[in-house]
Copies of this chain bind each other. A is one copy, B any other.
């Protein structure tokens, strides 16, 4: 017997859809120089943010983003009842340190680049379930902390594969409240881990495409919707390579005419030399908490399906020759 708010295989539908009452995004210089620079709340002048390490800069970017979101509703951190956050750093230290400074009760999440959708999914369930009235859902990534953790010492200047993506320096935070005028979180689909057998850590878009399409297909089936129901179906960070594969899989899976794009493709201009596109938890987090929610507030976009995608390997499993499992969680955000 499934839960009473469950629809189909993997989707939950909210009785009292939580409202996104405020949001904020802070991004790095490269992200600010892209096509959406004016849609973010702040663009950092550099990657160090006045701190002594990139790791400290990353956590302060996240903390600042959360403070900005709360401030838009005149809330202080201790007005928030729960913080749900994650990032790409080992032991999610950016989120841990931000949670320490903010002193908001904290549940740490790890979903790699799927974290923004994971935090929204869990947050919406914990609000609609009646546990908390003000929840912050957030995620971030930083190009230089990710480079040295996952790839090579940045000083080495290693050339990247064409299929590789550029980890965004960006943070996004959403404030969920039980009452408000929308946008609302209507439903969410919790993903399964899908492994396409891909072992190339320089091509994570391909590794995640299967999980993304599996979750989109499951969501549409569970909700009995056709592919063109949403004004926009947007994946988190498949990039050019991964989203091209996703489009092929849409055809194979019979997903008809989706209005589809990918945050990793959208975030940067063509001239910005980011390989296959943007990636990192911050990529979908800042696109949601910048241009996408702004368009929803303006009424330009009314039905959005956000599918954040995560590659669930570690450098150790990659070195050991294991394949790269992917996951994708979907959040349906609507205005009515």
8 Å CB contacts to B: which residues of A103-131?
103-112, 118, 121-122, 125-131
- Are A191 and B128 CB-contacts (below 8 A) given A93-B313, A325-B96? no
State how many copies of this chain the complex holds.
2
8 Å CB contacts to B: which residues of A71-126?
81-82, 86, 89-93, 96-97, 99-100, 103-112, 118, 121-122, 125-126
Which of B4, B82, B190 is in CB contact (< 8 Å) with A130? Answer: B4
Q: How far is the CB of A102 from chain B (nearest CB, A)?
A: 9
Which listed segment binds B: A5-13, A23-31, A299-307? A5-13
User: Do A81 and B133 touch across chains, with their CB atoms under 8 A apart?
Assistant: no
User: Do A125 and B127 touch across chains, with their CB atoms under 8 A apart?
Assistant: no
Q: Per DSSP, are chain A's interface residues mostly helix, strand or loop, or mixed?
A: mixed
- Are A316 and B108 CB-contacts (below 8 A) given A3-B131, A128-B129, A192-B103? no
Which of B6, B53, B93 is in CB contact (< 8 Å) with A132? Answer: B6
Q: Which residue on chain B has the smallest CB distance to residue A215?
A: B105
Q: A55 near B: Cβ within 8 Å?
A: yes
User: Do A129 and B132 touch across chains, with their CB atoms under 8 A apart?
Assistant: no
Residues of chain B with a CB closer than 8 A to A329's CB: 107
Q: Which residue on chain B has the smallest CB distance to residue A106?
A: B193
Which of B81, B190, B316 is in CB contact (< 8 Å) with A55? Answer: B316
Q: A314 near B: Cβ within 8 Å?
A: yes
In this complex, how many residues of chain A approach chain B with their Cβ under 8 Å: the count is 64
Q: Which residue on chain B has the smallest CB distance to residue A92?
A: B110
User: Do A191 and B105 touch across chains, with their CB atoms under 8 A apart?
Assistant: yes
Residues of chain B with a CB closer than 8 A to A2's CB: 81, 132-133
Q: A158 near B: Cβ within 8 Å?
A: no
Q: A149 near B: Cβ within 8 Å?
A: yes
User: Do B112 and A91 touch across chains, with their CB atoms under 8 A apart?
Assistant: yes
Q: A35 near B: Cβ within 8 Å?
A: no
* Cα(A128)–Cα(B103), bound, Å: 26
Residues of chain B with a CB closer than 8 A to A133's CB: 1-3
* Cα(A125)–Cα(B320), bound, Å: 37
Q: A248 near B: Cβ within 8 Å?
A: no
Q: How far is the CB of A178 from chain B (nearest CB, A)?
A: 8
Q: Name 27 A/B residue pairs within 8 A (Cβ), A-sorted.
A: A1-B133, A2-B132, A3-B126, A3-B127, A3-B130, A10-B105, A12-B131, A12-B132, A53-B320, A56-B322, A86-B110, A90-B90, A90-B315, A93-B316, A96-B312, A97-B322, A97-B325, A99-B192, A100-B195, A103-B193, A104-B192, A106-B191, A108-B111, A109-B109, A125-B129, A126-B129, A129-B130
